[in-house]
Amino acid sequence: MELSLYLAQVMGVVFLAFAVGFLFNKAYYQHMYEEFLANKGHLLMMGQFALVLGLLVVLKHNLWEAGYAGLVTLLAWLLLLKGLALLLFPAAMVKMAKNMKVETWYWFGFALSLLLGLYLTYFGFLA
């Protein structure tokens, strides 16, 4: 449970930082997203980073239970799968990302980051 708490704290703060960044730097993040999709080296590094980070958490924290500990596990598996997808199917991932409406996904990403950040930070630091 100590590891779950630690990971909830780390993930919660990271998600909150994303949300605040999204809120105050919309044009910057939208431009950065477009540049990111155009740079194959960034995609390769992101795939490697996501795979390693997701695998590290999954190997040490594979707890499928209700609550924040289960959410940490789910997020780790999603990160691992994202890494695999970026490494195994980079062209398809870029095509899918380019077909998304940036404005819609921007606000969805903000809301999801805010909710996950608040939830994980609450249970990581306050509960």
Q: What are phi and psi of 96, to 5 degrees?
A: -65, -45
pLDDT, tens only, 14-59: 999 999 999 999 899 888 888 888 888 999 999 999 999 999 999 9
Question: Tell me, what's the pLDDT at 31?
Answer: 86
Question: Tell me, what's the pLDDT at 98?
Answer: 83
Residue with tokens 């780790």: 76
User: Can you give the residue range of the structural domain that contains 67?
Assistant: 2-126
Tally of structural domains, the chain? 1
pTM beyond 0.85: the answer is: yes
- The CA-based angle 85-92-99, given to 5 degrees, is 120
- Closest residue by Cα to residue 88 from 30, 21, 43: 43
